[in-house]
Structure 1
Amino acid sequence: MTSPRLVQIGVIGAAHGVRGEVRVKAFTADPTSLKAYKPVTTADGARAFTVAALRRLKDDMVVVRFKGVDTREQAEALNGVGLFTPREALPPAEDEDEFYWADLIGLRVEDMSGAVVGEVASVQNFGADDLLELRLAGSRRTVYAPFTREVVPVVDVAGGRVVIDPPEGLFDEPAEGPPA
C-alpha cells in the first residue's frame, strides 16, 4: 500500500499562553479551515493532531488547541512542526488556472517545441518568487525556473505536463572550478 500524497497546510509556531495553545501559520486560503481536516499529521505521518479549538489571530495566523496538548511545555515542543493532510482531502480547484503545488510534482516538462526536457521535482519559494525545480531528462541535475506565466505559459495538470519557455542559459552546464 502506498502512502497518500501529503500537502502541507500549515506550520506550528510559538506557544500561546499557558494552557497548551499554539500559533499556527496556515497555508490554506481560509486559515480557519484547518479545523476541517481531521486529523492533520506530521510529514512522515508518525504523529496525528486533532483540532480541539481554533480562533483567528491575524491574517494567515490562527491560535489552535490540539487534543492532548494541555501545557505550555507540550506546546513549546511542537514549535516548527509542519501540518499535513492527504491531497485528496483538499477541495477541488475552482477553475483550470488553479491548482495545488503538489499537483505539479512529477509533471513532464516540455519546451515550446514539445520536446521533453525533464520533470517537475518540486516547487519552492525562498522568499521572493515561486520557482519550479526541474530535474533534467537523462540527468540527476536540477535547475530552477521562475514560475511565471512568461516562463511557464502552460500548466496542464490533467495532461500531465507543463510547457516552459526557458530563459537563455537555464539549461547550460555549470562552469567548472571556483567562482572568479
Structure 2
Amino acid sequence: MITVARILRSQGKDGELRLRFSYIAPTDCSGLKSVFIGREGDLREYAIESLVPHGKDFDLKLEGVDSLSQADCLAGLDVLIPEETLKEREKDEFFLFQLIGCSVIDGLGKTIGLVKDVLSAGRSDLLVVEREEKEILIPFHESICLEVDVPGKRIRVDPPAGLLDLNEI
C-alpha cells in the first residue's frame, strides 16, 4: 500500500472530503473504484462515488460517508491504494514516493544520506535527506541530481558548493 493523498477536511454537509494528492499525479490513479483510508495497519476500504478537481485539491465522495460528522472523523487521515493499481511508468520514469529510502551519494561515491521525504516546492521538488542525525534539503533538479537509480535505491548528486551545509533543518 502507498499513501497517495491526505484528507484535509470535510467539505459541505453531505459527507464530501477535501483532499490533496502527494507523491503522484491524480491521473496516475484514475479509474480507481475504491481507496483505503486510515493509517498503515489500521485501514478501511471505501468505494469511490466521485472525485472532482477543486483548484490544487480534490473533492472526494465515498459510499457510506453521508454526513458532516462522518466526514469530520476522516479529516487528517491518509488515502492509500495498492501500488499495483498505479498506471505503468515508462522505463526511466518513476513516482516520487519511490525516492524515499534511496541513498544519496556524491560524485565520488561517498554517502551523503538517505531520502526521508520529498516536498513539493513550486517549480522543483525538494529531497529531504537525513544526514548525521540532521535533515538537509536538496533540490530535485537535473542539474543537481545527475542519476536516479530507483531499482538500486540510489541517487547520485553534484550539489553546488555549500549547499549541503546551507540548508540543514
The normalised TM-score by structure 2 is 0.77
**Greater fraction of residues in strand:** 2
Q: 2:148 aligns with which of 137, 140, 155?
A: 155
- The CA deviation at 1:75 is 1.4
Secondary structure at the aligned position of 1:142 is classed as strand
Greater displacement, 67-76 / 148-157 = 67-76
2 CA distance for matches of 1:173 and 1:9?
31
Q: 2:37 aligns with which of 41, 45, 60?
A: 41
* 8 Å contact from structure 1 (residues 51, 64) kept in 2: no
Which structure is larger by alpha-carbon Rg, 1 or 2?
A: 1
Q: For structure 1, which runs of at least 5 residues remain unmatched after alignment?
A: 1-5, 175-180
Distance 1:37 1:43, change over 3 A: farther
1 CA distance for matches of 2:59 and 2:28?
10
Number of the residue aligned with 1:68: 64
The answer on 1:12 being equivalent to 2:10 is no
- The CA deviation at 1:110 is 1.6
1:54 maps to a residue whose letter is: S
Distance 1:69 1:107, change over 3 A: same
Secondary structure at the aligned position of 2:69 is classed as helix
The answer on 1:143 being equivalent to 2:143 is no
Q: For structure 2, which runs of at least 5 residues remain unmatched after alignment?
A: none
Q: How many residues align?
A: 167
Write out aligned runs for 1:112-123 (5 A): 112-123=107-118
The normalised TM-score by structure 1 is 0.73
Compute the RMSD of aligned alpha carbons.
Answer: 3.0
- The CA deviation at 1:31 is 5.2
Distance 1:172 1:56, change over 3 A: closer
Which runs of 4 or more aligned residues in structure 1 lie more than 6 Å from their structure 2 counterparts after TM superposition?
none
Identical amino acids, percent of aligned pairs:
28
2 CA distance for matches of 1:79 and 1:44?
16
